[in-house]
């Protein structure tokens, strides 16, 4: 036999053996009950000589059910955060230009930048000369003040990017979480649709995906005595020698804590304490906010847990912070859950993080300028911790979580925080506008019936090919079976999710594979009728039909690639399966069947029933 033919035989055998080997995890996966497929039972069932247990076919939302979430992105809050950041930049710019101003901060609406100054003309000119591509001065400002606002086009682009970034962030979190083939796409009105096939815990999904992960570092304003005035408005918290006693009065109370000052002294700082967070938020709005210097100070909320298990008590307390966000989580390069054995009591779960080069430089400057002050770590509008800065910090840092919870709860919380920080912070808070647990669209019984009907249909096609084309029909059947195995093997290898549209694409590729073999066999018949030998007819038949088959497959392949590029969800699943099937069909119809047919007709006197 020719060396090229032997090479093709080796290639076909390798592909056939690899296809069967690659489907080993899928075989063991579907052999188990749905409850055992995602645990140790499945991992142990896959033999050690097989592929990675994760390389198996997955079922989509319509075949196995899962969770459907519709999430809305609060783009208005993202705009206000952008205005606040730009206000800080404008203040630094005016300082560099040595232009006098009293305060640069967002106005009451949070959508415009207000500059208090006696040199309004200089401020407006210097600001617009530098930021004129994005900002303009709308006018209507009071005496001694200049207002700046973002241009409408800039805001439209920013809102669109905020939703796009939220979509990418959610996708990153889901990918790191390990959910197979999620369907995540943007909808109208700043909505993002998330479908998680096979996932059954909506509470965990909402906690992971809805966590904003807005990490901010702020300096505590411990020298400020603004909150002392609240002592005449609220009752003092009940206390004993061991500290506060519970329950606290409804509506909140005040107490004091001893704080060290950067100057070396100490003072008793007033804080407001409540049983529930909404109570503290109401007091902040009604009583504490009027005591603040607008644009200079703000109020933070911390959660404190004391005691353990059944005697555990949770309360919420206020922090007086400087308004300026000194550093954000955008500068974090990596984050992970670990255990801090150096703290009193030891062995407490914490989140350790590594700053980017720019972040390390900014963190070093921040900690150097604020030695012996408290730095609050604010995560999603909650002060997680506020330790004193004892020395210079640059590249590495850690977030200490609230105490009082058991070790497992703290470690799970640390893992969740590390995951969302590493995957990226959402540009703005998201709200869950729709949530439902989806059952399989078809149901187990209909899935079985659908599988049976597909197998019966395939069997009838195999019988027809064998009956109509006889030996060459059996060759086509072998190629068709290998085509199906190859498609499923590639889908398993890349972790494709099998959905109803995907099954349709799979069936369509089998049909195109049969069609290619019909073309080949009919062409061989024509060559034999023309008086050529069987060997010549086979060679001429394959040579002359080659470009016809390639043309039909490439045309369909172009359409599949376009659908895969621009489609989403079920359309994309159909396109992926169709693309894999078309490539497999080309291989089996041109290489596999020709290799077998050339072997059967290797002699000049060979006979062939077609």
The predicted structure's pLDDT at residue 301? 94
Where do the H-state alpha helices sit in 181-245?
A: 202-210
Q: How far is CA 81 from CA 51, 91, 320, 423, 465, in A?
A: 48, 16, 20, 20, 67
The predicted structure's pLDDT at residue 179? 60
What gap in Å lies between CA 129 and CA 136, rounded to an integer? 10
What gap in Å lies between CA 38 and CA 198, rounded to an integer? 9
138-164 pLDDT, tens digit each: 887 888 899 999 999 999 888 888 888
267-292 pLDDT, tens digit each: 999 999 999 999 999 999 999 999 99
Name the more confident of 283 and 528.
283
pLDDT confidence of 543, banded at 50, 70, 90? confident
* Cross-strand bridge partners of residue 113: 106, 148
The predicted structure's pLDDT at residue 450? 64
Closest CA to 188 of 429, 433, 424, 425: 433
At residue 386, does pLDDT exceed 70? yes
**Non-local CB neighbours of 227 within 8 Å, separated by 6+ positions:** 254, 269, 270, 271, 272, 288, 291, 318, 320
What gap in Å lies between CA 171 and CA 184, rounded to an integer? 7
pLDDT confidence of 344, banded at 50, 70, 90? low
Closest CA to 503 of 450, 565, 456, 462: 450
Query: Element (H or E) spanning 551, and its range?
Result: helix 534-566
Q: For the chain, what is the largest distance between any 2 Cα atoms, rounded to a whole number of angstroms?
A: 112
At residue 561, does pLDDT exceed 90? no
User: Helix, strand or coil for residue 7?
Assistant: helix
* Under 8 Å between Cβ of 522 and 593: no
| Mean pLDDT (whole number) for 391-414 | 72
Which domains, ranges and CATH numbers included, belong to the chain? 3-63+442-600 (1.20.1640.10), 75-156 (3.30.1360), 211-405 (no CATH)
What gap in Å lies between CA 65 and CA 202, rounded to an integer? 13
- What is the pairing mode between strands 497-498 and 58-59? parallel
Closest CA to 538 of 452, 467, 609: 609
What gap in Å lies between CA 518 and CA 508, rounded to an integer? 15
At residue 178, does pLDDT exceed 90? no
The predicted structure's pLDDT at residue 314? 86
Here the tokens at position 506 are 């799979």
| Mean pLDDT (whole number) for 480-495 | 87
What gap in Å lies between CA 506 and CA 60, rounded to an integer? 15
The position carrying tokens 């210079």 is 392
Q: How far is CA 205 from CA 185, 208, 437, in A?
A: 16, 5, 11
Residue 257 CB: number of other CB atoms within 10 A? 11
179-236 pLDDT, tens digit each: 655 778 787 778 888 878 777 777 777 777 766 667 788 999 999 999 999 999 999 9
What gap in Å lies between CA 133 and CA 125, rounded to an integer? 13
Query: Element (H or E) spanning 66, and its range?
Result: strand 66-73
The predicted structure's pLDDT at residue 443? 58
The position carrying tokens 């700053």 is 355
Backbone angles phi, psi at 74, to 5 degrees: -80, 80
Closest CA to 27 of 3, 45, 7: 45
At residue 610, does pLDDT exceed 70? no
* pLDDT cut 90: percent of the chain above it: 17
Q: How far is CA 523 from CA 195, 468, 530, 593, in A?
A: 48, 15, 11, 14
Closest CA to 284 of 307, 265, 300, 302: 300
The predicted structure's pLDDT at residue 183? 74
Side by side, the strands of the sheet bearing 332-340 are 332-340, 348-355, 396-400
At residue 449, does pLDDT exceed 90? no
The predicted structure's pLDDT at residue 218? 92
pLDDT confidence of 607, banded at 50, 70, 90? confident
| Mean pLDDT (whole number) for 75-91 | 86
* Under 8 Å between Cβ of 271 and 255: yes
Name the more confident of 417 and 587.
587
Here the tokens at position 42 are 């499945």
The predicted structure's pLDDT at residue 151? 93
Name the more confident of 344 and 297.
297
């Amino acid at each position: 036999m020719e060396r090229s033919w032997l090479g093709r035989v080796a290639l076909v055998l390798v592909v056939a053996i690899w296809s069967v080997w690659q489907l080993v995890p899928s075989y063991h996966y579907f052999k188990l009950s749905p409850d055992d497929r995602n645990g140790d039972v499945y991992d142990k069932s896959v033999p050690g000589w097989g592929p990675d247990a994760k390389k198996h076919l997955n079922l989509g939302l319509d075949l196995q059910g899962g969770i459907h979430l519709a999430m809305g992105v609060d783009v208005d809050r993202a705009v206000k955060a952008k205005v606040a950041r730009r206000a800080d930049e404008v203040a630094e710019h005016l300082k560099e230009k040595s232009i006098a101003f009293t305060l640069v901060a967002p106005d009451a609406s949070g959508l415009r930048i207000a500059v208090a100054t006696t040199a309004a003309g200089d401020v407006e000119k210097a600001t617009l000369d530098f930021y004129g591509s994005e900002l303009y001065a709308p006018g209507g400002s009071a005496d001694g003040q200049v207002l700046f606002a973002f241009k409408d086009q800039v805001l439209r682009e920013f809102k669109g990017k905020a939703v796009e970034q939220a979509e990418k962030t959610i996708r990153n979190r889901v990918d790191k979480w390990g959910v197979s083939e999620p369907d995540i796409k943007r909808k109208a009105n700043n909505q993002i649709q998330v479908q998680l096939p096979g996932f059954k815990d909506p509470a965990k999904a909402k906690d992971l995906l809805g966590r904003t992960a807005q990490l901010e570092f702020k300096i505590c304003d411990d020298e400020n005595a603004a909150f002392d005035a609240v002592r005449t408005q609220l009752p003092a918290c009940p206390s004993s020698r061991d500290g506060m006693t519970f329950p606290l009065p409804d509506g909140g109370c005040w107490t004091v804590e001893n704080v060290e000052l950067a100057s070396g002294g100490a003072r008793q700082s007033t804080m407001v304490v409540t049983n529930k967070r909404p109570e503290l938020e109401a007091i902040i709005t009604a009583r504490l906010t009027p005591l603040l210097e607008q644009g200079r100070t703000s109020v933070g909320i911390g959660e404190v847990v004391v005691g353990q298990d059944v005697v555990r008590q949770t309360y919420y307390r206020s922090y007086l912070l400087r308004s300026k966000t000194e550093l954000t989580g955008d500068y974090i390069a990596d984050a992970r859950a670990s255990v801090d054995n150096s703290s009193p009591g030891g062995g407490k779960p914490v989140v350790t993080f590594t700053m980017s080069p720019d972040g390390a430089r900014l963190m070093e400057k921040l900690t150097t300028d604020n030695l012996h002050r408290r730095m609050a770590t604010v995560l999603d509008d909650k002060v997680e911790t506020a330790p004193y800065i004892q020395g210079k910090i640059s590249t590495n840092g850690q977030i200490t979580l609230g105490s009082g919870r058991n070790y497992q709860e703290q470690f799970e919380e640390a893992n969740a925080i590390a995951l969302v920080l590493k995957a990226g912070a959402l540009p703005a808070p998201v709200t869950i506008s729709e949530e439902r647990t989806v059952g399989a669209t078809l149901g187990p019984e209909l899935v079985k019936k659908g599988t049976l009907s597909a197998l019966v249909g395939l069997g009838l096609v195999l019988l027809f090919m064998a009956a109509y084309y006889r030996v060459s029909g059996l060759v086509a059947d072998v190629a068709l079976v290998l085509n199906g195995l190859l498609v499923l093997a590639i889908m398993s290898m890349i972790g494709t999710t099998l959905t109803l549209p995907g099954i349709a694409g799979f069936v369509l590729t089998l049909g195109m594979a049969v069609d290619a073999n019909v073309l080949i066999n009919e062409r061989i018949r024509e060559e034999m009728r023309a008086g050529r030998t069987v060997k010549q007819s086979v060679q001429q038949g394959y040579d002359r039909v080659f470009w016809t088959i390639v043309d039909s497959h490439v045309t369909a392949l172009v359409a599949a690639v376009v659908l895969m590029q621009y489609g989403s969800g079920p359309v994309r699943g159909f396109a992926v399966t169709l693309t894999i099937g078309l490539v497999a069909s080309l291989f089996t119809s041109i290489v596999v069947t020709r290799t077998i047919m050339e072997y059967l007709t290797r002699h000049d006197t060979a006979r062939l029933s077609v």
